[in-house]
Structure 1
Amino acid sequence: MTFPAPLTGVVPPVCTPLTPDREVDVPSLTRLVDHLLEAGVDALFVLGTSSEAAYLTDRQRRLVVETVVGHVSGGVPVLAGAIDMTTPRVLDHVRYVTDAGADAVVVTAPFYTPTHPAEIARHYRLVAARSPVPVLAYDLPVSVHSKLGAELVLELAAEGTLAGLKDSSGDLGGFRAVVTGARADPAVSGFSVLTGSELLVDSALAMGADGAVPGLANVDPAGYVRLDRLCREGDWEGARGEQERLCSLFGMVRVGDGGRMGGSSSAIGAFKAGLCLRGVIACAATAEPQVPLSAEEVAGVGKFLAGAGLL
């Protein structure tokens, strides 16, 4: 399908359901896609952080893209992460996700070795020159250890290298600078500015963002679609109430015992436990070496779901 410019609305970063032996659970993945589409989401993003892309083998990544693109059959745009340490490896991912039919690719800055802004810019220019589909930047400094500055993002947008930004930096001031810069510059017309925050979607849309890519939308896609629509209708009081309900639900990501697991294990484990409890996926397994939630912690997720009216 033709990739919209700008891409707007709710774009869930799709979780990757796994079997107990940590293979991709294709039937659960297609049920999850149906769960999201039935809620009215505007696009899907596979192979991002919530997809556990960093933990999947290349074979599993390919299977995820092929499954989702095939199941969607052009109904909504499918964005695919092409996330790896260096430009040549990213280009390999671009090749297989676009061969599988992805409508756009989402790319972080290079990582592992310290990277200069000039090298980040060169990375994106080289990827865009070889990609047959639009390239969106993924600002994820907690994982790649470099921040995409607003000036650099806007420069790459104005020259046509980048079609959008998925911002998971937590830097609301920097995000605002991109939003206002894109709005002020006619050369950046059609550039998509998307927040990755579950907790600030109403604020991001109020300042002029185009949409949101919230991991919690796997569990409650209808809630985020409702929030997006309320914002676009100008019902800011209604939007605030929906955002606050989702903020309370987001507390599920902290059910995991921080003394025995990391934040990723707790958050992704909670999303998957929530999807299991809602009957969407068959198994809440997370990729190794993440630590699984205990039965008591899964019960805690259930309390959050019940409190949000989802059980």
Structure 2
Amino acid sequence: MPVPAPLTGVVPPVCTPLTPDREVDVPSLLRLVDHLVDGGVDGLFVLGSSSEAAYLTDRHRRLVVESVVGHVSGQLPVLAGAIDMTTPRVLDHVRYVTEAGADAVVVTAPFYTRTHPAEVARHYRLIASRCPAPVFAYDLPVAVHSKLGTELVLELAAEGVLAGLKDSSGDEGGFRAVVTGARAHPGVSGFSVLTGSELVVDSALAMGADGAVPGLANVDPHGYVRLYRLCREGDWERARDEQERLCSLFGMVRVGDGGRMGGSSSALGAFKAALHLRGIIACPATAEPQVPLSPEEIEGVGKFLAGAGLL
């Protein structure tokens, strides 16, 4: 379905369930999509960080987009990551995700190569000029090693190059500058500003953000939808309580032993373990070379679910 301008609400970055031999588990993926739709979410974002897009082959990426778009059948907008190192490679992804029916694409700044802000701007302009769907910028400096500046984002928004921003920078001051700038900037209308944080959704919405793209919403979509609605109703006290419950649940991302695995293995492993324990996906496997959680760590995830009333 067409992407609203602005896109609002809760748009989970959908995890990619895998089989034990690391193929895409399509039946589990579709159960996860049903779980999210039943939770009342406002859109789906496939092939982002929580989707393990960086670990998936191009064949797997295509399968994910085709499966989700076909299953949703226009009930909700589906945004698809077209994430790669440079413009020509991103355009290859843009081609197949839009041919598969994605309603919008989500694109980071170029990475691996050293880029100047002028090249980042050219990257987005070239992509938008050749993309038949709206383009959302994904600000993810921890992974791409460059920050999307406020003025650049607003300039591209005013030109109609960008339809929105998913901000996973952790820079709340910069995020606020985009939110307030989008309201005040001449020529910017219908531009979506979405936080990628699990922990400060209430604060972001209070600033004037349009919505949230929290990975933890895979596990508890009802909670994030409830939080969004409480904020929109102005019930800030109950919204704070819900946000704090979700913050406690988010503690599951730290169950992994940092001495033997990275933060991505721990966090994505926890999300998938939680989905497995909740009976939504068949296998909690993460993509190679991530280190799997131990049985004891998975038991720890279960304790967080129980504490949040999800088991």
- The residue aligned with 2:293 is 293
- The residue aligned with 2:237 is 237
- Name the amino acid aligned to 1:147: K
- The residue aligned with 2:53 is 53
Q: Aligned with 2:187: secondary structure?
A: helix
Residue 282, structure 1, aligned to residue 282, structure 2: yes
- The residue aligned with 1:212 is 212
- Name the amino acid aligned to 1:127: I
- The residue aligned with 2:102 is 102
Q: Aligned with 1:283: secondary structure?
A: coil
Q: How far apart, in 1, do the equivalents of 2:182 and 2:198 lie?
A: 22
Q: How far apart, in 2, do the equivalents of 1:176 and 1:272 lie?
A: 31
- The residue aligned with 1:67 is 67
TM-score computed with the length of structure 1 as normaliser: 1.00
- Name the amino acid aligned to 1:282: A
Shifted more, 178-187 versus 99-108: the winner is 178-187
- Describe the superposition over 1:64-99 as per-residue Cα deviations: whole angstroms up to 9, x where unpaired: 000000000000000000000000000000000000
- The residue aligned with 1:167 is 167
TM-fit CA distance, 1:2? 1.6
Unaligned runs of 5+ in 1: none
- The residue aligned with 2:177 is 177
- Name the amino acid aligned to 2:32: L
Q: How far apart, in 2, do the equivalents of 1:115 and 1:221 lie?
A: 37
- The residue aligned with 2:143 is 143
- The residue aligned with 1:201 is 201
Identical aligned residues as a percent: 87
Unaligned runs of 5+ in 2: none
Runs of 4+ in 1 over 2 A off after TM superposition: none
TM-fit CA distance, 1:178? 0.2
Residue 125, structure 1, aligned to residue 125, structure 2: yes
- Name the amino acid aligned to 2:273: A
Q: How far apart, in 1, do the equivalents of 2:6 and 2:259 lie?
A: 43
Aligned pairs, number: 311
TM-fit CA distance, 1:186? 4.3
Q: How far apart, in 2, do the equivalents of 1:40 and 1:250 lie?
A: 20
Q: How far apart, in 2, do the equivalents of 1:114 and 1:215 lie?
A: 29
- The residue aligned with 1:16 is 16
- Describe the superposition over 1:183-239 as per-residue Cα deviations: whole angstroms up to 9, x where unpaired: 112411100000000000000000000000000000000000000000000000000
Q: How far apart, in 2, do the equivalents of 1:218 and 1:152 lie?
A: 31
Q: CA RMSD in A?
A: 0.4
Q: How far apart, in 1, do the equivalents of 2:263 and 2:149 lie?
A: 26
- Name the amino acid aligned to 1:283: C
Q: Aligned with 2:106: secondary structure?
A: strand
- The residue aligned with 2:84 is 84
Q: Aligned with 2:193: secondary structure?
A: strand
Q: Aligned with 2:102: secondary structure?
A: coil
TM-fit CA distance, 1:3? 1.5
TM-fit CA distance, 1:18? 0.1
Q: How far apart, in 2, do the equivalents of 1:72 and 1:186 lie?
A: 36
- The residue aligned with 1:253 is 253
Q: How far apart, in 1, do the equivalents of 2:2 and 2:116 lie?
A: 34
- Describe the superposition over 1:253-304 as per-residue Cα deviations: whole angstroms up to 9, x where unpaired: 0000000000000000000000000000000000000000000000000000
Q: How far apart, in 2, do the equivalents of 1:53 and 1:191 lie?
A: 25
Shifted more, 182-191 versus 194-203: the winner is 182-191
